[in-house]
Structure 1
């Protein structure tokens, strides 16, 4: 069986070595970069299965690195390691293409659970490049939403969430299901994050008054179109 290839970008040398050795002892292959620029080069050359990125790094920070990686690969799972705990900081991570975050200090067991959880998820592979939602055209591959001549760019997370809402259009998309699938767990903090993303999608879909995203409190959301 091939080992899972993890790209770890962590500039704190002692922590980086601890994480690297701990993962390798559990049969992972670890590629360790000490700054964002080095990490991008390794990503480009080695094609890892998952990225574990420290947010605060020299030369290129984790958020900038994730944005650049998302241009080349929209689907590779990204976990951010961060000492920051403010809602705005974590939301910035999700906006830049992150799939999960882990606050420092963390246990190796928790990191491994997050890695396996992300890799075990079934990736969205829509058959249609363009999907009609009311009078909008949604291109999941390009992450765009077009109304007449007006095109908006979506983030990776917005695209994933909109696709799942469309799959269940006119029915309730279960809140716990989508939180576990896209955010990794359904805790209160992630639920707050999802509410913010729902609000963003509502604004981006407001040009068609027949489209609504309804909150079914305690159950989930429904895309009506």
Structure 2
């Protein structure tokens, strides 16, 4: 994988860094705003996001050691892992173009490589990231960085495992990302602030598939 610049893979032109980046059918196919979600569907409520339960889905919450706050949601499904984080965003502009450039810069500083591709959700970053064991390099791992700008929120995803290169596995993990509901809330929040996440209620089962669209 060769290094690429942080420009967008469209006509060789850099994008408007303040423009929203999202699939044209986002409002009907996801990821959804809370106002767009199916009101009768059961979800696993994690605060800033809601997840559709389904068979063989394993959910992990990533907790910041110092503050003990939940900072990301990890989902293991169909041979892939998906890490998601919801952030506050401006009403009329997006964050993904700028954040994508920063991700590329950070990976290059780590000695990794990146490739900009056009994916299901628009521009995304395919990255080869060094993995260290102690102080000695121990190889690399592949990951896809995806992002969607919604109404007053931005949802970032990192895909690893089979969903990076296997088309069938990619379709399954992308459908999972599509089904996520972002709960922005009405409280004022600076752009880029993490929308608060919390533990699911006791006894929540992530394996039960609700009726209707998955």
Q: Is TM-score (shorter-chain normalized) higher than 0.5? A: no
Quick one: higher RCO (CA 8 Å, sep 6+), 1 or 2? 2
Larger Cα-atom Rg: 1
TM norm structure 2? 0.28
TM norm structure 1? 0.27
The structure where strand makes up a greater share of residues is: 2
